[in-house]
Structure 1
Amino acid sequence: MPSILQITTFFLLIIFSHYLPFQTQATIFKTLENEEAQELGLNFKKEKLTHFRVYWHDIVSGPNPTSIPVVKSPKKSPTAFGLISMIDDPLTDGPKVGSKLVGRAQGFYGSACQKEVGLLMAMNFAFIEGKYNGSTITILGRNMVFSKVREMPIIGGSGYFRFARGFVQARTKYLNPNGDVIVQYDCYVMHY
């Protein structure tokens, strides 16, 4: 027959075994105080909306393409369904190829529609100029290429754009027979 000491010890072990993991989790997950958030450069009371425009140059032809197919469409498809291309496209402040470089669009796009020309876009706009230098926004969304205006969500960011959310509107400005394209991106970013 177990003694009172053994029974008490057993129950204390059970109680503490359930209590300790919650204590540990409480110290891992912590709500930031306002001062700690400000040390990270965040002021949650001063969220702002930033709008800017960049031009995305997707170059698929010539000696230095900025878009390379990594998966070809597995079968003859009028929409190139299944095609995936990696990109490192210039972002400029104007529509001309020689305009000032302000960043790079890095990521990939894939043909995701069987009946229309529609892309899944997953890319970071990585900025190299002005107060946005070193900052990024992340865009992930559906791009119906032949629509006049396409809207895609901004799902995050870094640096100046920490905790970013918002959307971009894309408008094709130039398309040549080789497939090179220049797209105007109007970016509307909520951030702190």
Structure 2
Amino acid sequence: MLPLVLASSSPYRRELLARLRLPFTWSTPAIDESRKPEEDASELVQRLAREKAQTLATTYNQHLIIGSDQVAVLAGQILGKPHDIMRATAQLQAASGSSVHFLTGLALLNSTSGRCQVDCVSFTVHFRELDENSIKRYLEAEQPFDCAGSFKAEGLGVSLFRRTEGTDATSLIGLPLIRLVDMLRQEGVQIP
């Protein structure tokens, strides 16, 4: 098996990838994550996942490189990471009683052969009606300012949900493991 590299600085993605019990390293790719004109959310996350993997291919030229990127979409608008309490409050107020669609782009690049598998996995969160005090308590407790959508699904954020729908809950955290296992198997990786 070629060595695995995760093209990400995200501790959440590292924790998810560790579930597969495969040895891996990680490196932070330096790319421009700006959205191109007329690019929809699905195209954006797939392009960024692919670019993250390709950026590391020169350094890791005999590896399987995993790239991933995620956006949250509410009422047709892409929500970025909030970075502060004011933006996080606004995101959760907008999500209250609504549905937020998470699109996670995934790429697996075999830097030896040049083959790159790319996909987009969607997952939807249906939010409860959230009052101002609930939002404030949640944000103070978990401070999810580095998370698209302003919550951590693997933590207390689940208390904000009415229900979820999708084929792979790990995609909500940023790395769709079910689809990744499919891609790894196509490269001959035995799991488990």
For normalisation by structure 1, the TM-score amounts to: 0.30
Q: Report the structure, 1 or 2, having the larger strand content.
A: 1
Larger RCO (alpha carbons 8 Å, 6+ apart): 2
For normalisation by structure 2, the TM-score amounts to: 0.30
Q: Report the structure, 1 or 2, having the larger helix content.
A: 2
